[in-house]
Structure 1
Amino acid sequence: MNADPQSPLSEKRRAFLKRFRLLAAPSMIMGGGATYGYSSLIERHRVTVDRHDLRLALGSRAPAKFRAVSLTDFHFDPLFEEEYLAEVVRRTNALKPDIIMLTGDYISATSHKFEEFGQVVGGFQSTCGVFACLGNHDHWHQPSRIQNILVKQGIDVLVNRHTRVPCAGGEVVLTGLQSVWGGRPNWAVASQGLKPDDRTLMLVHEPDYASHLAGEKQIVFQASGHTHGGQIRLPGIGALRLPSWGVKFQAGFYDVDNIKLYVNRGIGTIQYHVRFLCPPEIACFDVVNTDVI
């Protein structure tokens, strides 16, 4: 995610955001402001595990059932909160996933200390592997270094390509695209070698790209992040600010033609290190293959 000054905001949202900017700095200095304190010190680390039953037509070669977990938008810098990240890894492992899907923005603006990030996320445990795509911030700041460190930790980074994963007695096809905002996503290249009856789970950082992929019948599910759910949401108003390629689909499930899209609220924060009515998220999917069951 990155704040986009061109994102459409209502006048009410603009007014609140202006007031928030004016109030945030003095509340930090004075140690006051219950709402700001809650948003920055409590909700920002109050990770929820959101569990979902997900029914997908994955074809006859895919397993009847498996568990997939998605995480996104860690934004390790500038806070470098290794203990928080380690707790996220521990809670993810406790779900005993078959597949872990990471959908980008591991950093905000620098890959400094990214080796430390890699060492912590190298502790992810899953039966069938950990798979990733890159986000816009990763593409903007040393993407090759970021990819190499993740790969060194056993994470398969899918850059405009797909892979076949033996899993739960079947085969899951996973595809990853480059970031829309920071890279050059290319489904034509990524899909080369797919069989006509293959059905794939897609990893792409920006959720709104689902509208461009809609109609590609081999894509049945898209996991995305990027929006952080807005980070700050207000009753009756919703997200105060959303980024390019994250305006149409903000958080949770959407049906985009044939694609079931899920937008994860993310783990980290950017710009304002606060969350309000929008806690960080580990998404857990118990997938049922309707072509088998």
Structure 2
Amino acid sequence: MIWRWLRRSAIALLAICVILLAYMTQIEPRWLQVQRLDLTLSHLPAAFEGFKLVQISDLHVDSLDDRTLARAIRLVNRQTPDLVAITGDFVTQKDNLERDRDRLAILNTLQSQTVAVLGNHDHWTNPIIVRHILRVAGIEDLSNRVVRIEREGGQVAIAGIDDLMGGHPDLPQVLDALPPDSCAILLVHEPDFADSAAATHRFDLQLAGHSHGGQIRIGPPRILPPYARRYPLGRYQVEEMIAYTNRGIGMTSVPMRFGNRPEITVFHLHAPV
């Protein structure tokens, strides 16, 4: 009797493991979530009330099938954003670069103004080629740069910092380019830069990625890369600055997700009343 029970238990456990593995590798990585947040930024001009900013991050295009990649871009376009921000890691490694280059041509179909910074994997792979891909797609590389968006006499500064791990980040250069007293939004790949960004008292919002939310998550994220351990997931208040860490679209290392769906974030920005 005991052996029969043990055999049935083993079969049930094996079935659970197979189902769980299928979910982690085939279902959740393709189950895109559109996350919507309302943010009030203290320096946002009234003319920008309701400004819609969509963030995606960490495409790691070699980890995505064509259908998921195409659906991610369609979902971004469907939000009709005023601005799209991409916070790095378009690619993962040199071995897949030629194929990745062709597949990233889908970025050409983004229908809104788009800005981006590079991530550590972009730099470790080939930043020249990644920047060429962005340029061809009409995406503005904001590494250590600032662009201004103007509307009805008001303006918002969108800034970017080059990657902390593989690039040449230059915060003083960015601060020099920021218009005084302007609402400023910062793109950076690694979220733990938030402490440095907030200490300047010049940014209202930081957007980052890098962590993938831990990819496999039961409770708080535990498996996290460097520079993503203080602010690994979601929204934080760092002094006067809001920081947000996007869970990303793709994957690295172990191609699995659990409790951590790939994310497209839609921010509805509001001016103070």
Q: Match for residue 68 of structure 1?
A: 53
Letter in 2 for 1:230: G
Matched, 1:253 2:235: yes
How many residue pairs get matched?
A: 258
Could you say what secondary structure the match of 1:202 adopts? Answer: strand
Match of 1:161 among 135, 139, 145: 145
- What is the rounded CA distance, in whole Å, between the counterparts of 1:167 and 1:115 in structure 2? 35
Query: Any gaps of 5 or more consecutive residues in structure 1?
Result: 1-26
Counterpart CA distance in 2 for 1:244 and 1:98 is 32
Moved more, 203-212 or 185-194: 185-194
Partner of 2:189: 205
Q: 1:104 aligns with which of 48, 68, 88?
A: 88
- 1:279 partner letter: R
Secondary structure of the residue that 2:181 maps to in structure 1? coil
Deviation at 1:117, TM superposition (A): 3.1
Of residues 87, 95, 100, the one that matches 1:114 is 100
Query: 1:114: Cα distance to partner?
Result: 3.3
Q: Does 1:273 align with 2:252?
A: no
How far, CA to CA, are the matches of 1:193 and 1:226 in structure 2? 25
- Contact residue 37 and residue 266 of structure 2 kept, 8 A: yes
Residue 143 of structure 1 pairs with residue 127 of structure 2: yes
Change (3 A) 1:168 1:280: farther
Structure 1 residues 151 and 167: CA distance shift in structure 2, 3 A? farther
Q: Aligned with 2:109: secondary structure?
A: coil
| Distance in 2 of aligned mates of 1:144 and 1:47 | 29
Aligned equivalent of 1:45, options 30, 48, 71: 30
The answer for the alignment partner of 2:244 in structure 1 is 262
Equivalence for 1:17: none
For the Cα contact (< 8 Å) 2:64–2:250, is it kept in 1?
no
Query: In the alignment, residue 123 of structure 1 is paired with which amino acid?
Result: T
Instruction: Provide the residue aligned with 1:241 in structure 2.
Output: 223
Give the match's secondary structure for 1:91.
Answer: helix
Amino acid in structure 2 at the alignment position of 1:141: T
Inter-CA distance 282–59: structure 2 relative to 1 (3 Å threshold): closer
Of 55-64 and 254-263, more deviation after overlay is shown by 55-64
Please provide the CA RMSD for this pair: 2.0
Structure 1 stretches of 4+ with a deviation exceeding 6 A read none
Question: CA distance change for structure 1 residues 168 and 241 in 2, over 3 Å: closer, same or farther?
Answer: farther
Amino acid at match of 2:28: E
Q: Identity over the aligned pairs, expressed in percent?
A: 33
Cα distance, 1:196–1:104 mapped onto 2, change above 3 Å: same
Which structure has the larger Rg over C-alpha atoms?
2
1:89 aligns with 2:46: no
Deviation at 1:34, TM superposition (A): 1.1
Bigger fraction of residues in helix: 2
Secondary structure of residue in 1 paired with 2:26: helix
Change (3 A) 1:168 1:86: farther
Moved more, 51-60 or 253-262: 51-60
Under a length normalisation based on structure 2, what TM-score does the superposition of the two structures give? 0.89
Residue deviations 1:155-209 (CA, integer Å, cap 9, x gap): 0011101011235774321001111111121111122232221221000000001
State the distance in 1 between where 2:268 and 2:152 align.
Answer: 12
Structure 2 regions of 5+ residues with no counterpart? 1-13
Cα 1:232–1:108 shift into 2, 3 Å: same
For residues 70 and 192 of structure 2, the distance between their equivalents in structure 1, rounded to whole angstroms, comes to 30
1:232 paired to 2:216? yes
Counterparts of 1:65 and 1:271, CA distance in 2: 38
The answer to which of 47-56 and 167-176 deviates more is 167-176
**Does the 8 A contact of 2:155 with 2:182 survive in 1?**
no
Deviation at 1:62, TM superposition (A): 5.8
Give me the whole-angstrom Cα distance separating, in 1, the residues matched to 2:148 and 2:46: 11
Match for residue 9 of structure 2?
A: none
